[in-house]
Structure 1
């Protein structure tokens, strides 16, 4: 492998040849200067032209979102190829990935590597990030570690959503859209003055749609939309130098989501069908599923925030404070068959988040400017999941276990109930409906950080930037997890000795026939913490920094070179697969006389306890990046070439009943991003963006992967390419405006997204290739009226987004498929 410096030098040379290409990368708070025709941005927290902003950041404006008919954040990735968004098993779980790095959904103990901010307020979990927002001004995607300009450190990147401030002129917007699957979206907002110095805005939205996946057993429709929200804002503009904005919002989701398709119908399928259950067998692209009850996804998300901005002489002071709350309840038929194997898989989650930020920025005319800030984060999470067995599970387990023939050393009859027949377990106790695991996690996180950066204008063309972020993070977790599954609590090694197996051979499956039943012990007892060995705490401190040189070649071309680090604190595994580390506990039965370990020495070992991870250590990000920006009449470009790495990347792998949380010693990605925009005539604008990624697990000795029977097994992934990250991602779009009269316009829009073929999961040969063609045509009439027709995924491309081991069905594989073609019409009135 060639050294990093060599590859960056080669691609720096390529970037110097790219001035014939153009870019559409705008940054935070972009606006058009009508006199100069320049794009003014403040991605670096101060006003500058796009060309003079040396940061890799893309923006999708509110107008672009409207034209592309982006229905929610899941659709945003069609416009930003370096961003990937996927919805997982519930409406509350959405994963954001930038440059191949991202995690955090499914497991509330993990903060995402990609931070999401809405109007400057950090949203710590995906359930608080996915609500529809009225009057979006822009959505910005900052790529790479972000620390010196944001108090909340983000190791992979940031998504910043900005809504429009209240205006001092009355105005508003109302729209109604109807599409296939009976999709109805209604949005409205109004803004105006209350007095000379006070303005308001209030908006609301409703998003409803029938499901696009039909349940063959019940006839219910899954993957529906049923959400609404309101948002109000009040702006006090005391003077040009002082303003305060308050925002209050509430949104609610109540949906039947998310349907699972069967990819591989393994050896357990026959047992399911013998019980009268149905499986839509080996039909991965089906728009059908089979369950015995509907899913529940009830999410409330609300909060209050305030931001004050004060200019005093050459200094700008900003204060932001916020309280956010999420209340969610989810429940689903997790065996995804019409048999009642898993009776309940529910979770109640309460999240309360308090944040405060203060920063001061200078506006000196001279050689030096700075930004300095402080940030406080306080979060409490109460998480109470439970998984219980259904009424068919006992018979299902008996079918899988088979029968013990007569005449042998063991009593004849069903193998699963053998332990009842020999008196080890009460008669009728094994596999009873309602048995399961009942969990309660109390999570507390406190973090403070100081951050800032300084700009030194070494010459009229050359600027040096140096920034830092110091973070101090403290987490505490208390667990109360109980397993009532009688079969999972039995020590089959010890019971084997009762049946006459020599203790030295009791752990040998070839000698102890009971060990063949261990696959049915998937809800073992849990070692709660804190305990005498584990304190349930993490304590992290980190200093991240940024160094950048920016050079303006001429009025049209500028470039930059950046070295930056980032950080994400340790994350706890809040799932039933949270285990003590092997350093604290060496698995084994007391019968086999395993080596001593701290857990066993303290008398804390419970039957069938295994080792694993309680938490994953922090992520440390590092990026080398070269960028070149050009802006000319009619075209512009933005090219970024980078080598980015995360040491300690927090991998969160679903096992079928819980999650394995582990650190990859190092995961790195070499790649480039090219964003272009071309306007050959005033009526036509064409954009094209290309992302190339070449990721590697440089070292991941504690990884996990699917084995040939689709179980999740420990695997050394060092040297492998991480699954799910496409080599190439492409987005192409265009707008053409035809002026039919002085007051009437016809606007055509089309965009296309493509991701190259890539394995979906580690160890799997099942792959995904993404394409999405979207289009709209809008007739803008006089007086603010607009009529549109739109379509998304017009080619009806179908693919699997995620795969995982089927719950309680060893050898079977399940997954989620993408959304099919949608289309409809829209009427909008602006005033």
Structure 2
């Protein structure tokens, strides 16, 4: 199979691998079969091919072969996933089927939940760290609110850490690349006694980054992390098991800086004649591939989290399992940002709000903290996965306390803010979902959840440094909300290898508060942003072929959202990128997903997946506008389709109905395969693997700015190495982005904002700037990896 953008060498290589493997296997009478994939998407262990839902499963072998380190690596493996990046780690977003929430505020829940060993993360930002000691990731698409509750209206990532092995063993992993990434990890796992087993894993990672900071000589947009994960299992009787899962993580992300790719000549920084482009950006060659910046203040976030989970399972004589799952965790992040993006002493040339000189030195900075404390408790009863009736039911309690403190300083003309906010939510729910085989070949699926939520906030505004600290404003509010979600489905097995299904499910996400620097008394007096709801329809076909040597799943879906909570980004009058929370009247995501695997021979396995997704706005009459130059080239004016609306306070808006959601490519394709190469004359065997992914053009801005569109691209990775037949070691050499294709993880466009556009008394002039965010694999790089077991 080939698709637009697939390099011909890759297609030829796959064909040659297949023919070679066929020739080698011609004399072997019994072909190998695909391994059974077990998932817990319905909160009980099931064969993937028996679950009536579209699920992508990334198992341990795939994660290792692709050298997955963090969440950023997953969109390359799952076509339904994309990630949106903000100005710091606290406002990253996971998008499923084109749907995700990008918000700077702690008063907005995410649309995609992240669950680790049955415990949901209290804040999605906590997911953007090393995926340490992970065994399997299930990408659950579409509303998952019935079983997983809050923050799963668009989908969920269900993550399972590695299990405890049999006899005690130690494993170690080392990885290094030619562009200064390295990783080291070690784990000890196994049975200590007949009743007690344990696993302890530690890892350390570092990547310098993709941008060159000319000021310090260092790199930006990298990360480093330390991880410690443990799993202790005590089984005093055959029916009773206690599992304790403490964890600790410390991560620093040197992000999320963008580099200029174009700039209209003649710009003055904040209209100061002493600050022309040649001085402020000295040494930077602005071009579409530029990766040089000048920062004299760090940009990114340093965070740590720790906590533990305790799961108690008790097996009843009739096969039922009673479970109690408890958790407690704390998350803290210090974030910081160089808001002037220069190393020049600019303050001496700028003015205070009253127009007087600042009489200060230095630059413009942002700094703040996030604090999240989460407590959860779940009681669950699970039936065995056999018999005509199979079900899971439970009670849920979760409490999240969130805190945000943010300052942009110092106070000058058109710049400066200082606020603090607390948000809380308490969720109580009862849920259940089951399947009934009312015929030997047909089942009905029924699920429901009743959720009660209490939410609220405190918002404080302070004076901006260097003014003496004082609180100037305070607002508080509390609300409650009750919601019901449900799921209905029908599953029919045409034969033992073929299953078709159809489901209807609903989703719900609670009310939201726009707790950002733009929060005002006017917003405080208004009702909160309405709850977000969804209704999803999905039909699918799952097929096993050739005595389980091949399988595929095909799904078609449509999900309609109402009151979708979306933050729209824009450049404010001070040249700083900001967001404002909107409630979009309606949007729809619909499409087709196809996934398949084939064990062509004992030694060759091929995999493929495709997602065609249309994520479009159906109703949003007051959408944000983008700007274009006026005819004289002296100022910015609203772009085509924008108009001044009396209905919306005479602001410039555009009707975004039928427009595409940001970062929602229509087509994503993944192709890959691995060939095991026997080497009889040597004590080890070889292997070679290749993957290619393709993505169609992508719009990064909700306002549909044509200058923030990433064109279609394809990326090919190649891996080969050797492995000891006894499983004691494996050595791997990999080349990522084999054909050196450049693409962006984010694009910005700004016209005539006050950062670079001269105005009176200087000659009026409009400056257009564009920027890009290079991804980890923006270029070709290679690395080596060693895995040891002893």
With the shorter chain as reference, the TM-score category is: 0.7 to 0.9
Shift of 1:485: 8.7
Shift of 1:727: 1.1
Aligned counterpart for 1:635 among listed residues 531, 550, 566: 550
Shift of 1:719: 2.6
Pick which of 165-174 and 467-476 moved more.
165-174
- Equivalences for 1:766-777 in 2 at 5 Å? 766=707, 767-768=709-710, 769-777=712-720
Residue 429 of structure 2 is aligned to residue 449 of structure 1:
yes
User: Residues 747 and 690 from structure 1, CA distance in 2 versus in 1: closer, same or farther, beyond 3 angstroms?
Assistant: same
Distance of 1:616 and 1:105 partners within structure 2: 13
User: Residues 157 and 367 from structure 1, CA distance in 2 versus in 1: closer, same or farther, beyond 3 angstroms?
Assistant: same
Residue 743 of structure 2 is aligned to residue 828 of structure 1:
no
Per-residue CA shift, 1:49-72, capped at 9, x if unaligned?
A: 333211211110111111112232
Distance of 2:308 and 2:754 partners within structure 1: 43
Distance of 1:635 and 1:210 partners within structure 2: 41
CA contact (8 A) 1:349 1:383 kept: yes
Root-mean-square deviation (CA), in Å? Answer: 2.8
Which residue is equivalent to 1:55? Answer: 53
Shift of 1:203: 0.6
Aligned counterpart for 1:569 among listed residues 507, 510, 515: 510
Aligned counterpart for 1:307 among listed residues 301, 304, 311: 311
CA contact (8 A) 2:172 2:787 kept: yes
Q: Secondary structure at the match of 1:553?
A: strand
Per-residue CA shift, 1:403-462, capped at 9, x if unaligned?
A: xxxxxxxxxxxxxxxxxxxxxxxxxxx68xxx7211111112111111111322110011
Per-residue CA shift, 1:625-684, capped at 9, x if unaligned?
A: 000000123211100101112111111123335320011111101201000112221111
Per-residue CA shift, 1:157-178, capped at 9, x if unaligned?
A: 0001111222341113101111
Per-residue CA shift, 1:706-726, capped at 9, x if unaligned?
A: 222498964331232223211
Distance of 1:252 and 1:571 partners within structure 2: 29
Q: Secondary structure at the match of 1:75?
A: helix
Residue 655 of structure 2 is aligned to residue 727 of structure 1:
no
Residue 245 of structure 2 is aligned to residue 325 of structure 1:
no
CA contact (8 A) 2:501 2:541 kept: yes
Distance of 2:386 and 2:787 partners within structure 1: 45
Per-residue CA shift, 1:594-616, capped at 9, x if unaligned?
A: xxxxx7xxxxxxxxxxxxx8843
Residue 774 of structure 2 is aligned to residue 817 of structure 1:
yes
Shift of 1:789: 0.6
Shift of 1:794: 2.5
Aligned counterpart for 1:619 among listed residues 524, 529, 532: 532
Q: Secondary structure at the match of 1:128?
A: helix
Distance of 2:288 and 2:250 partners within structure 1: 31
CA contact (8 A) 2:463 2:472 kept: no
Shift of 1:202: 0.6
Distance of 1:159 and 1:388 partners within structure 2: 38
Distance of 1:35 and 1:623 partners within structure 2: 34
Shift of 1:359: 1.1
Which residue is equivalent to 1:706? Answer: 626
- Equivalences for 1:185-334 in 2 at 5 Å? 185-265=183-263, 269-271=267-269, 274-275=274-275, 276-278=279-281, 280=284, 283-312=287-316, 313-334=318-339
Distance of 2:225 and 2:676 partners within structure 1: 33
Pick which of 91-100 and 543-552 moved more.
91-100
Shift of 1:381: 1.2
Aligned counterpart for 1:764 among listed residues 705, 708, 714: 705
CA contact (8 A) 2:34 2:599 kept: no
- Equivalences for 1:97-116 in 2 at 5 Å? 97-104=95-102, 106-116=104-114
Which residue is equivalent to 1:419? Answer: none
TM-score (norm 1): 0.78
Which residue is equivalent to 2:393? Answer: 372
Residue 494 of structure 2 is aligned to residue 553 of structure 1:
yes
CA contact (8 A) 2:199 2:232 kept: yes
Aligned counterpart for 1:745 among listed residues 666, 685, 698: 685
- Equivalences for 1:393-542 in 2 at 5 Å? 436-484=416-464, 528-530=473-475, 536-542=477-483
Distance of 2:373 and 2:192 partners within structure 1: 32
Which residue is equivalent to 1:799? Answer: 743
Residue 734 of structure 2 is aligned to residue 790 of structure 1:
yes
Q: Secondary structure at the match of 1:110?
A: coil
Aligned counterpart for 1:652 among listed residues 564, 567, 570: 567
User: Residues 446 and 645 from structure 1, CA distance in 2 versus in 1: closer, same or farther, beyond 3 angstroms?
Assistant: same
CA contact (8 A) 1:265 1:281 kept: no
Distance of 1:134 and 1:722 partners within structure 2: 32
Distance of 1:364 and 1:669 partners within structure 2: 32
Which residue is equivalent to 1:336? Answer: 341
Pick which of 776-785 and 624-633 moved more.
776-785
Count of residue correspondences: 688
Q: Secondary structure at the match of 2:64?
A: helix
- Equivalences for 1:89-238 in 2 at 5 Å? 89-104=87-102, 106-152=104-150, 154-238=152-236
Q: Secondary structure at the match of 1:440?
A: strand
User: Residues 277 and 442 from structure 1, CA distance in 2 versus in 1: closer, same or farther, beyond 3 angstroms?
Assistant: same
- Equivalences for 1:11-22 in 2 at 5 Å? none
Distance of 2:67 and 2:34 partners within structure 1: 30
Q: Secondary structure at the match of 2:73?
A: helix
Which residue is equivalent to 1:671? Answer: 591
Per-residue CA shift, 1:569-595, capped at 9, x if unaligned?
A: 12222211124558x8xxxxxxxxxxx
Larger radius of gyration: 1
Shift of 1:749: 1.4
Unaligned segments of structure 2, at least 5 residues: 1-31, 348-362, 571-575, 629-635, 639-650, 758-767
Q: Secondary structure at the match of 1:383?
A: strand
TM-score (norm 2): 0.82
